[in-house]
Amino acid sequence: MNAPGAQAPSFWRRLRGFAGFFLNLRRRFLYQEQALGRLQQQCETLQIQLAQLRNDHQASVEWLGQIYPDIVSAIGRKIEAEHLAEMGEKLFASVLRELERQRPVAAPVASLEAAPARVLEPQDAEDADFYLALERRFRGARQDVGARQAVYLPYLPRDQGTRPVVDLGCGRGEWLQLLQEQGIVARGVDMNPVNGAACRHAGLDVHTGTAAEYLEQLEGGSCSAVTAFQVVEHLSFPQLGELLRQARRVLAPGGVLILETPNPENLLVASCSFWLDPTHIKPLPPDLLAFIVEYSGFSPIEVLRLNPHESLTPDGDVLQQLLYGPRDYAVVARCPSAPEGTSVETP
């Protein structure tokens, strides 16, 4: 058995070990405290710089407002309008989802054969909300879409009278808004109930439903023009034929048909951007759509190739044309009842 004094060296060694540990811990604590102090100083410096930037920004806005008040006011109105429009779409979508959620569930279909085909019917809340988000991401801002569609204004009949322009698949109403600004009577139809509600809220005459059903309700010869932007690529061949038959019926003598669709002559469109919309069925080459329209009895016909990529140069070679050429095209045609020899009025 060891004497009591023999344990003393071990005790002191342990005590020195603990003392060293606490001394090292204190040094680390002091180091962290100093680092935190430096970080706080940097934060205070950044806050001062941020406050200075805010002051400089506000001064710049005030200066611009004094020098260019109209421009600053217009920019502010544009930002506010875009924000309010997006908030309105989200609100309509939320209300529609809630109504869909509370709607009673339909009885199950007895057999697959008895189930109705769900092709180009008015969209439910989930589909409508998804398609709105898809349009916001890939379609572009309303102002940009409206600016691109202004190219079609000179093709509309000058003696419209009380006959409206009917826009099929009017979407967010860019074309209808443009026509309204020009004092042209116009109506629209769209399957998306959120789009329909938002358009009506903006003062546009829009019906929620399918294009075919809407055209069937119109009287023969009651329209001055029928337009469909980015619609025909969503249709099967029989649906396209029926749409053209109904359009020919409702157009007045000399009335105009305008069909715009993605241009598959552009390889980037045909291989990629066309398929960003999962509801697209297949691209339609310009020659094919022009032939179908002509075969349906419309004449004369003009094909407009539009919206080339900004990378396309005026002297671009064949490869540039294939990659960066017109991304959209439109078939513009007149109702066949126009006098023989009449041509599409080209601006």
H/E segment holding residue 60: helix 8-67
Asked whether residue 266 carries a pLDDT value surpassing 90, the answer given is yes
Q: Grade residue 161 by pLDDT with cuts at 50, 70 and 90.
A: confident
pLDDT at residue 233 in the model? 96
- Helices 125-138/193-201 angle, 10° precision: 70
Average pLDDT, the chain: 79
Neighbours of 301 (CB within 10 A): 17
Question: Among 138, 90, 121, 126, which Cα is nearest to 277's?
Answer: 138
Q: Which amino acid is at 291?
A: F
Distance of CA 271 to the CA centre of its chain: 20
Q: What is the pLDDT of residues 103-156, one digit of tens each?
A: 444 433 333 233 333 333 444 545 666 766 777 777 777 778 888 999 999 999
- Whole-angstrom CA distances from 224 to 7, 132, 256, 285 are 111, 29, 7, 27
Q: Which of 21-35, 81-95, 247-261, 321-335 comes out lowest in average pLDDT?
A: 81-95
CATH code, 130-334 = 3.40.50.150
Query: What mean pLDDT do residues 217-234 have?
Result: 96
Beta bridge partners of 226: 166, 257
The torsion of the CA quartet 267, 273, 274, 276, rounded to 10 degrees, works out to 160
Q: Read out DSSP for 81-95?
A: HHHHHHHHHHHHHHH
Q: Which of 162-166, 224-228, 320-324 comes out lowest in average pLDDT?
A: 320-324
Task: Answer whether the bond into residue 339 is a cis peptide, omega within 30°.
Answer: no
What pTM does this model have? 0.64
Q: Which of 35-39, 108-112, 204-208, 213-217 comes out lowest in average pLDDT?
A: 108-112
Pairing of strands 301-308, 206-208: unpaired
Six token digits for residue 170 = 């009017």
Query: What mean pLDDT do residues 42-51 have?
Result: 77
User: What are the structural domain ranges in the chain?
Assistant: 20-67, 130-334
